[in-house]
Structure 1
Amino acid sequence: MNDSTDPRLPLSEWILDAYDVLCTHSFYSDNREDAQSVPREQALEILLRTNELTLEPEDANYALSRLLERGYFYEVDDELRVTAPEK
C-alpha cells in the first residue's frame, strides 16, 4: 500500500490494513460514475467483524478518522467514499 508516488501522508500499518479490508470487503459501485462508497456504520461493523484484524470499537473509529483526515476517504451524507490519488 505504501507507494512512493502517493501524495497522501503515510499511516500506521494497522490503519492501512483497515483500509485494505474496507476496500476489498465492503465497497460497491453504484451507478454514480463508479463511486465506491459504504455507510460509515457499515464500515465500522466490517472492521469489527473481520478475521483479518482484531480491533476494539475505539480503534475502528480511530482508523476511520485517520483515513478521513489523511484523504484516503471522504465523507458525503454519512457515506465513506474512496479518494483515488492523482497519478
Structure 2
Amino acid sequence: MSQVDDPRPPLPDWVTDAYTLLSSHMADTETGDGQCHVPAINRAQTVDILCDSDELAVEPEDADYAITRLLERGYFYAVGDELRVTLPSEER
C-alpha cells in the first residue's frame, strides 16, 4: 500500500506483519449491494488473534496500536464492528 510519493514514514515491519496475520484470518463478507465480497474480520477478535499469535510477540496495547495505524493508513476500514481490507480499485 505504500506509495513512492507518500510523505509519511513507512509502517514498522511488525505492524505490516500484524496486517498479514489478520488478513489471513479474514473471511469474505457481502457488501450492502450483495454484489461484492470483501475480506473482513470482527474488530473484537483482532486483538486476541494478534496477542495469541506465535508469529508476533505483542501485548494488547501493542495490538491496539497496530490496528489503529492500519486503519489510519488505509489498510483497513471500519464498518460497524468489522474491519475490512481496503482493496485497490483494480481488484474491485
**TM-score normalised to the size of structure 2?**
0.79
Cα distance, 1:44 vs structure 2 = 1.1
2:69 corresponds in structure 1 to 66
Cα distance, 1:29 vs structure 2 = 1.0
What amino acid is the match of 2:28? Answer: S
1:21 corresponds in structure 2 to 21
> Rg bigger for which structure?
2
What amino acid is the match of 1:73? Answer: F
Measured in 1, the distance between the counterparts of 2:70 and 2:9 equals 10
2:29 corresponds in structure 1 to 30
Measured in 1, the distance between the counterparts of 2:47 and 2:61 equals 10
Q: Which 4+ runs in 1 deviate beyond 4 A?
A: 1-4
Aligned length: 85
Identity in percent: 48
1:55 correspondence with 2:58: yes
What amino acid is the match of 2:27? Answer: Y
Measured in 2, the distance between the counterparts of 1:36 and 1:66 equals 18
Measured in 2, the distance between the counterparts of 1:2 and 1:10 equals 7
C-alpha distance 37-75 of structure 1, shift in aligned 2 (>3 A): same
Aligned alpha-carbon RMSD (Å): 2.4
Which structure is higher in RCO with an 8 Å CA cutoff and minimum separation 6? 1
Measured in 2, the distance between the counterparts of 1:27 and 1:3 equals 24
Query: Tell me, which stretches of 5 or more residues in structure 2 are unaligned?
Result: none
CA contact (8 A) 1:35 1:82 kept: yes
C-alpha distance 49-67 of structure 1, shift in aligned 2 (>3 A): same
1:46 correspondence with 2:67: no
Cα distance, 1:86 vs structure 2 = 3.9
